[in-house]
Amino acid sequence: MLALIAPGCSLVPKQQKSTPPPPNTDTSPDQGGIGTPITLRGTQTELEVRVTSVLDPAPASPGDQTLSPRDRFLGVELVLRNIGQGVYAESPLSDSKMFAGVTEANSVNLIGGPCGGRFALHVTLRPGQRATGCVPFELRSGLRPSRFQFALDSGFGPEVGTWRLR
């Protein structure tokens, strides 16, 4: 058996070249205050995130107890809007951090009140969808929350939005 191979042809299939994600064309700041929308990219999609208010203290149900009697519950109310092409299916609580100066507040899961319920634990947003809810934290009494951070991919995303809270 005789096989002829034409010049420039190959019997080995070509491998697909992987293409990098499109360049970031977002020119909005990654910092702001309450009410400032910040666009954040993750590995799956892109969100516009806006902090609308801080609940200090955050009302809770009688079954919700702080870890220490010297602590209180706080909440950050958010609006999330999926402006990307992929699905956002994450826990906003895992994507969030709150600070009082250099002290990081503890993230908690509340049963009741405006920060209780499903929003903090899991949100699924298809492109174009939005959700509003509250993310709860626990902070020592006497400390004032100073900033809130949000990053996709369980907080490990390449972009971090930071909001000043006072």
Give the chain's domains with CATH numbers. Answer: 31-154 (2.60.40.1240)
pLDDT in tens, 44-85: 999 999 999 999 999 999 999 999 999 999 999 999 999 999
> What pLDDT score does 166 carry?
82
Q: Give the CA dihedral 106, 110, 115, 117, nearest 10 degrees.
A: 130
Overall average pLDDT of the 85-104 stretch: 96
Overall average pLDDT of the 23-38 stretch: 77
Q: Which residues of 73-91 are buried (b: 16+ CB within 10 A; e: fewer)?
A: bbbbbbbbbbbbeeebebb
> What pLDDT score does 14 carry?
52
Is the pLDDT confidence value at 16 over 60? no
Token pair in block for residue 156: 């490990």
